[in-house]
Amino acid sequence: MPTRRIGVIGALVWDQIHGRDPARGPVEEWGGIAYALSGFEASLGDDWEIVPLIKVGSDLIREADRFLATLAHRHPAARFIEVPTPNNRVVLRYQSQERRCERMAGGVPGWNWAELGPLVRDLDALYVNFISGFEMCLGTASALRDGFRGPLYADLHSLLLGMGRDGIRTLAPLVDAPNWYRCFDYIQVNEDEMAELSTDPLSLATAILGQGAKGVLVTLGARGVVYVAGDGAMARTELIPTEPVDDPDPTGCGDVFGAATFSAILRGDPIDTAVRFGNRMASRNARFRGAGGLAQHLKGALVTP
């Protein structure tokens, strides 16, 4: 069977996390797209290779390369792209198990089409996770939609986060939202993000399908995931619950869910089966702390974080 390649776009972030483990104090570790990369590492079949299309600041490029080397599914020539700016860093302060305050610093630039176009030419699928929200502008996303023929999955996430001068992220309207929707085959948002997009989520999801998307997935934290799929005229929807987890760590659960769900879609699973698989992997992630060793944990290995 020929090897296929999936491109992964997002921001590799150095996290400082407060309040997740009060007895331990702040924790510092890789976050952001590291969770999705770990999800792909654990979920893709042996006929797939990961091609990271990820820019990393020069201050953390060596540490990032060490993380990349732990992924057996990486393409042999895979590498992060070093940029002469400080890498993105995020301070997370958990206010509850599922609510947090986020402050970002760093200057990693997004992609333009002149850079990105040649890199996606030989890929078979593409996963875009807007970790920073600055991974690409709408013009680049539109060019990607028009110039790439493989399946496209996007977690819109930080496209719906504004950023103040102090770096604090808060929910904000998505400017030109309908044109963003047409750029992707599968669109993932969380419950708060969907509420920011529309007061009538089902009607919005149906409208997105009518523009050509194949599925809209809304993560609901511990309650599971609602998906809406179809062609707009014949949309179907289902709430798929997730298994309960004692003392969960929600960091990265949405990223692992998206990577695992898209992996299942790429192997031909129907969307309900794919979402169930994504939920199982997200629940495994919730039993772990951090992205270091996460892929092995998701595969079922016993790894002490």
- Taking the CB of residue 262, how many other CB atoms lie within 10 A of it? 31
For the entire predicted model, the pTM comes to 0.94
What single letter denotes the amino acid at residue 212?
Answer: G
Residue 152 token pair: 């496209």
The predicted model gives 270-299 an average pLDDT of 94
**99: confidence class by pLDDT, cuts 50, 70, 90:** low
Q: What was the pLDDT predicted at 40?
A: 98
Domains and CATH numbers, the chain: 4-298 (3.40.1190.20)
Kindly report, residue by residue over 15-62, the tens digit of the pLDDT.
Answer: 988 876 666 778 889 999 999 999 999 999 999 999 999 999 999 999
What is the SS3 assignment for 275?
helix
Give the mean model confidence (pLDDT) for residues 125-133.
97
Q: What angle do CA 162, 289, 73 make, to 5 degrees?
A: 85
E-strand ranges in the chain read 4-9, 12-18, 27-32, 48-53, 55-57, 81-83, 89-94, 100-105, 125-129, 152-155, 161-163, 168-171, 186-190, 215-219, 225-229, 236-240
Contacts of residue 233, Cβ cutoff 8 Å, sequence gap at least 6: 210
Please state, for a pLDDT cut of 90, what percent of the chain lies above it: 80
Answer yes or no: are the C-beta atoms of 117 and 145 closer than 8 Å. Answer: no
pLDDT value, residue 21: 66
* DSSP at 71: -
